[in-house]
Amino acid sequence: MRHFVFEAEGIQRLEYLPGQFVSFTEMVEGKEITRAYSLASAPADSNRFELCLNQVDDGRLSPYLFSMRPGEAIEMSAPLGTFTLRQPPRDSILIATGTGITPFRSYLQAFLDAGQPSFALLFGVRYESHLLYRAEL
């Protein structure tokens, strides 16, 4: 697993809602591959955003992403998706395993400081060492 920080080129602020995703597209072994990844950060006044991914050894795009170096670019879609909180947000129970924590991290970063709503998070992993964002949470 790896936490990534990306910058969207050509814009000053990436507009999205907590819980949305972006899709990356790249040519891999002569085929155009597109995969969607949940945003792991709350919207900010910048073009930066965060993702948390598993590397799937026989995956089509994750090995490529894990091989990227700072400064390299990849094609990205605008944020999409409806896995967002209703407005106004209500008290919620969030249940996740593994990298499924990523959209919930976005929710928590966006709404916890506001003091409302209240959240209860149930986060499960097979091994304690796989507890993502443990210090933060």
Q: Which residues pair with 92 in a beta bridge?
A: 119
Give start-end residues of each CATH 2.40.30.10 domain in the chain.
Answer: 2-76
- Give residue-wise pLDDT tens across range 12-31: 999 999 999 999 999 998 99
Amino acid symbol at 64: Y
Instruction: Quick: pLDDT tens for 123-137.
Output: 999 999 899 999 998
pLDDT of residue 93: 96
CATH assignment of 2-76, among 2.40.30.10, 3.30.70.20, 3.40.50.10310, 3.30.70.1710: 2.40.30.10
Cα gap 15→8, rounded to integer Å: 10
DSSP result, 24-38: EEEEETTEEEEEEEE
- pLDDT exceeds cutoff 90 at 106: yes
Share of the chain residues as helix, strand and coil, in percent rounded to the nearest 5? 20, 30, 50
Please write the tens of the pLDDT for every residue from 47-65.
999 999 999 988 999 999 9
Look over the chain and give the mean of its residue pLDDT values, rounded to a whole number: 94
